[in-house]
Amino acid sequence: MQHTLQFAQQCDAEDPLKHFREEFLLPKDTQGNNLIYLCGNSLGLQPKLTQEYIQQELNDWAKHGVEGHTDAENPWLPYHEFLTETMASIVGAKPSEVVMMNTLTTNLHLMMVSFYQPTPSKYKIIVESDAFPSDKYAVESQLKFHGFDPSDGLILWKPRAGEDLCRFEDLEQIMAEQGDQVALLMIGSTNYYSGQHFPLKKITELGHKYGCKVGFDLAHGAGNIEPKLHETGADFAVWCSYKYLNSGPGSLGGCFVHERHANNDKLNRFTGWWGHNKETRFNMRHEFDALQGAEGWQLSNPPILSMAAIRASLAVFADAGFNKLRKKSIKLTGYLEFLLHDLENDAINIITPSNPEERGCQLSIQLKSANKETHTKLTKTGVISDWREPDVIRVAPAPLYNSFEDVFEFVQRLKKVL
Ligand SMILES: *Cc1c(COP(=O)(O)O)cnc(C)c1O
């Protein structure tokens, strides 16, 4: 690898996925120059197909009114099913284990209704520190809902003093000491702050060994790493579609329920009509009869316009092939890491693991001076990245639309502001 524009351009020229950049709308500055957009971990960019897919549903609504449920070109009644197969392949699940519905935090609560059933002696929940705030709030409120005090019931899996990453052996230690009191491990598969990707299968096996349920938040995993959910054996997982999955702000989330729970009637479940047997859903008089698999957790008839955006985005993923994307992602982030090391600048420190198996596309760059002003200056040079308190700039080159040249340019500009 080389620290030259020419080398970056050559990598782009040899990139078999380079044309996918053309399939996206890239944000520009006021002069019409492309911004260096490295924020797909927060909001992915808009595929050009999205407008067309949403327009189709607007047209069918205009043309058919309520009959669109059955007569639209893509009938609305089964519309969520059009998303399932590609979504399942991206997260490594069987189609029956996956459904797109609600939003991430809502799904997390629904999953905890089913998979957090504490007893007076086995009630604690483990999350990683620092977990995304919404996840922590959700977990704390579930503890309180069941009458437990979060200061006792919530266990944080933390990095050791002076370290930035969580060690698996420390989780083993927590379980050895308190495993018989733990009901649930709820871990963010790829930590939003450090970019560390956790060993999902090992965590699941550890949790199950102590009779706990195990769930993952894939907000930073879905569309980024290959979580192989089915193989991990996790009980459930949730994610959103607006980060790496490019489906638009606030778009619907995804949910995974392992097939061994497909018909598990020992689980509590909050129910609604969309989880009911499709054959008799509209008779409206029957007792609740849950659909098999993840679909049985649906509550409401879902927003078609949001699902149209997800469908457009998944079509791009299917076209590119997720394996190929991941391969490019490893190279692209590897190049970013190389360039940052090459700066030999003591003011910065990459806290994300250097092993590609333990990270996705994001690198978290710690500013030793913890100076937010540096990030503001960087933004003024036309770089969109984000700042996370207390001292981290997150940059996430997305393999669908970012180029090696983007990465090169970013590092040039960072060097200038440092
Ligand atoms: C982005 C993100 C969320 C956001 O939750 P919403 O319910 O979609 O607003 C939650 N958890 C994690 C880990 C995230 O990264």
Query: Considering the chain, what is the average pLDDT of its residues?
Result: 96
**Which band of pLDDT confidence, cut at 50, 70 and 90, is reported for residue 206?**
very high
Q: Is the CB of 128 under 6 A from ligand 1?
A: no
Sign of the Cα pseudo-torsion (27, 34, 45, 388, in order):
negative
Q: What is the pLDDT of residue 201?
A: 98
**Which band of pLDDT confidence, cut at 50, 70 and 90, is reported for residue 281?**
confident
Q: What is the pLDDT of residue 165?
A: 96
The structure's pTM equals 0.96
Q: How far is 343 from 4, CA to CA, in rounded Å? A: 12
Q: How far is 209 from 180, CA to CA, in rounded Å? A: 10
Q: How far is 224 from 360, CA to CA, in rounded Å? A: 6
Mean pLDDT, rounded, for 233-250: 98
In this prediction, what percent of the chain has a pLDDT beyond 90?
93
The CATH class for the domain spanning 5-47+322-417 reads: alpha beta
Instruction: Please enumerate in sequence order all residues whose Cβ is within 8 A of that of 322, keeping only pairs 6 or more positions apart, or say none.
Output: 89, 90, 226
Contact 266, 246 (CB under 8 A): no
Q: Is the peptide bond before 319 cis (omega within 30 degrees of 0)?
A: no
Q: What is the pLDDT of residue 90?
A: 97
Per residue in 329-372, pLDDT (tens digit) is 999 999 999 999 999 999 999 999 999 999 999 999 999 888 89
Q: How far is 286 from 284, CA to CA, in rounded Å? A: 6
Domain spans of the chain, in order of start: 5-47+322-417, 78-318
Mean pLDDT, rounded, for 404-410: 98
Per residue in 71-88, pLDDT (tens digit) is 999 999 999 999 999 999
Q: Is the CB of 90 under 6 A from ligand 1?
A: no
Q: Quick one: tokens of 56?
A: 């189709």
Please give the CATH number for the structural domain made up of 78-318. Answer: 3.40.640.10
Q: Annotated binding residues for pyridoxal 5'-phosphate, as ranges?
A: 104-105, 132-135, 217, 220, 242, 273, 301
Q: Annotated binding residues, as ranges?
A: 104-105, 132-135, 217, 220, 242, 273, 301
Q: Is the CB of 42 under 6 A from ligand 1?
A: no
In this prediction, what percent of the chain has a pLDDT beyond 70?
100
Contact 304, 57 (CB under 8 A): yes
Q: How many residues does the chain have?
A: 418
Work out which ligand 1 atom sits closest to the CA atom of 253.
8
Closest to 229 (Cα-Cα) out of 359, 96, 129: 96
Q: Is the peptide bond before 47 cis (omega within 30 degrees of 0)?
A: no
Q: How far is 68 from 28, CA to CA, in rounded Å? A: 37
Pocket test for ligand 1, best of 240, 247, 364, 394 (most atoms within 8 A of CB): 240
Strand, coil or helix: 256: strand
Residue 172 has pLDDT above 80, yes or no: yes
Q: Is the CB of 192 under 6 A from ligand 1?
A: yes
Taking CA atoms, 206 is separated from 122, 182, 213, 214, 357, in Å, by 16, 12, 10, 9, 19
Q: How far is 360 from 399, CA to CA, in rounded Å? A: 11
Q: How far is 245 from 136, CA to CA, in rounded Å? A: 23
Q: Judge whether 5-47+322-417 and 78-318 match in fold.
A: no
Q: How far is 109 from 138, CA to CA, in rounded Å? A: 7
